[in-house]
Structure 1
């Protein structure tokens, strides 16, 4: 499926705002399928996902990323930028801006520039769900999500999309509004499922087959390796699990070993070192390496997100937006 720009010399840029994208209906299954295709295409060598660039001031009050990539199936090139300010402040005082600009690599014309917030909010839990599908212990029945922010609110619905047999769904969080939002999202997508709010996160982790840590950096939650049951899968998206879950894991899976060393520095040992990554996730999905080798090994999975997944999902949103006539056309280059 190639780009969505008309095959003309139309160089106007379609701007898709937060509200434009919010009105687009897309199923969780559709999101998972798009993200999985992006990983498989990368594993086949048909896409490009260079290492991200990072800028961070000495005092750590902000962080900026720039990511360039190409999707070889959709034949589009895109650049994603991400800027977060106020990392030294509470969540409600932080500022976060992220954009994705997509170009049709067949016509050479722009497709769209869009707010990437919703794309990231969907892409990341979809990746966690795929990691769980491939790496969770057999017959997993329980899951714990740590954190109730953007990434925590859709974590359980996506997990249920790939692990339908989960029947104990737990969440740990300290923000009342966030807990309400987690419950609302779960009941929106799976109205028959019940949510269990847990206060003792380490006790809950000992009873969970899958632990997904999505909390912000100021969280007090710090699940240790010894808290995890044999065979448990721990997935790190944000914060909430301690470095021991990585350092003492029986097996380490990462969406990208290189990115883990760039963005996961708080999980390194006292000397700044990381254990060897046993498998990169694109190769797991491609069937080149096993996600899990035995039922009782504790697996640590690092979900850093690859820009090719943002590109594929962003392009899917652009297609839907163009079909619905959404967005504002701007003559940026005229």
Structure 2
């Protein structure tokens, strides 16, 4: 476990006004960081945002009419770290199988005290950590008291760390279920769980309806081609359902007793498949930053069925990306490029 005191939040991590440190996928893969550290970093970003010290504008989206690709651009500022960053995300082949798709995402960070560039990095590992950490925070704040069972739908990038992060914030979970359709993904989920919690086992389920009705927490991370679509009527009173990708039917949102979102505005941008026939959404009762700050309730009763929408806020990518840049510099990782010379 890394010691956060080694790297103060606003500590500079790079260089001059001529060079940019490039952190590759390989550079970032070798950096060790605990799940608890990731959760704490993401939670801190939410608290700073709610306090009004950070900026997280609505993301920009570009998508062709035939829907074969999608691109996002997200600009933000972290007020506790005094950094500004822009994240880009581009996925091509949405009409094809997972193996045929292309996906690229990057984060470029600038020091807002010195005005110098800090680093440009592949953002895939940051996203693979940040997203399940957010789901775990949603579960901590919104799951019914005494929640003991969890179901994860999907075995892709976001599904593989979902259970370890859930156990980080809800250590009393004693039944862990997984619904997946890709054997290699199921193997990867098992390996990740064993790596972080070697004494825990995951139960592979094929009857999605029975598993959903037995789960206190359902986290849907599947891709767009998944056959999974959990209906509201399958869920018991008190169930928390968290949507990250796909795997939940729109009824879980529209028939929920309470709706929580990381960002209501972003849910309206990226969650259009959950809208009703008129393209409308039910109102969001609270956003996660306010819940974490303690000014809004995650739930009001143990029997309340809750739908939570997990869309990325760039301030969480900035905080985690900045942390990785600090750790990378300490280990001498990355390549300095004379970009502006």
Instruction: State the TM-score bracket (shorter-chain normalisation).
Output: over 0.9
The alignment status of 1:141 with 2:148, answered yes or no, reads yes
2:51 is aligned to 44
Equivalent position SS for 1:96? strand
Equivalent position SS for 1:150? coil
Determine which of 100, 106, 109 is the counterpart of 1:99: 106
The alignment status of 1:24 with 2:31, answered yes or no, reads yes
Give 4+ residue runs of structure 1 displaced > 6 Å after superposition.
none
Superposed CA deviations along residues 136-189 of structure 1, whole A, max 9, x for unmatched, are 010000000000000000000000000000000000000000000000000100
The alignment status of 1:269 with 2:276, answered yes or no, reads yes
Alignment of 1:316-331 (within 5 A): 316-331=323-338
Report the alpha carbon displacement of residue 10 of structure 1 after superposing the two structures with TM.
4.3
Aligned-CA RMSD value: 0.7
2:12 is aligned to 4
1:57 is aligned to 64
State how far apart, in whole Å, the 2-side matches of 1:120 and 1:155 are: 12
State how far apart, in whole Å, the 2-side matches of 1:136 and 1:5 are: 38
| Structure 1 gaps, min length 5 | none
| Structure 2 gaps, min length 5 | 1-8
The alignment status of 1:227 with 2:234, answered yes or no, reads yes
State how far apart, in whole Å, the 2-side matches of 1:146 and 1:69 are: 30
TM-score when scaled to structure 2? 0.97
Equivalent position SS for 2:103? strand
Report the alpha carbon displacement of residue 5 of structure 1 after superposing the two structures with TM.
3.6
Determine which of 75, 82, 90 is the counterpart of 2:82: 75
1:124 is aligned to 131
State how far apart, in whole Å, the 2-side matches of 1:201 and 1:255 are: 26
2:172 is aligned to 165
Superposed CA deviations along residues 180-230 of structure 1, whole A, max 9, x for unmatched, are 000000010000001100001111000000000000000010000000111
Report the alpha carbon displacement of residue 279 of structure 1 after superposing the two structures with TM.
0.3
Superposed CA deviations along residues 105-128 of structure 1, whole A, max 9, x for unmatched, are 000000000000000000000000
The alignment status of 1:294 with 2:315, answered yes or no, reads no
State how far apart, in whole Å, the 2-side matches of 1:135 and 1:257 are: 17
Report the alpha carbon displacement of residue 4 of structure 1 after superposing the two structures with TM.
2.0
